[in-house]
Amino acid sequence: MTDMTTTPEGGGEPHTSTRKAVRRGGGDPSTRGRTTIADGVVEKIAGLAARDVIGVHAMGGGFARTLGAVRDRVPGGSKSVTRGVKAEVGEVQTALDLEIVVDYGVSIGDVAGAVRENVVAAVERMTGLEVVEVNIAVSDVKLPDEEEDEPEPRIQ
pLDDT digits (tens, 9 = 90+) for 24-36: 666 788 788 889 9
Indicate yes or no: pTM above 0.95.
no
- Cα separation, 112 vs 102, whole angstroms: 9
Domain boundary assignment for the chain: 37-142
Helices 39-51, 108-127: crossing angle, 10 deg rounding: 140
From the list 78, 80, 86, the residue with the least C-alpha distance to 46 is 86
DSSP state of 56: E
C-alpha closest to that of 48 among 78, 74, 80: 80
Q: In residues, how long is the chain?
A: 156
Residue 2 has pLDDT above 60, yes or no: no
66: pLDDT strictly greater than 60: no
Is 16 a residue whose pLDDT tops 90?
no
pLDDT higher than 90, residue 70: no
- pLDDT beyond 80 at 110: yes
The set of residues, in sequence order, having a beta carbon less than 8 Å from that of 42 and lying 6+ positions away, is: 87, 89, 94, 96, 123, 127, 129
The class level of CATH for 37-142 reads alpha beta
Backbone angles phi, psi at 46, to 5 degrees: -65, -40
Half-sphere CA count of 55, side-chain side, radius 13 A:
13
Q: How far is it, in rounded angstroms, from Cα 27 to Cα 24?
A: 9
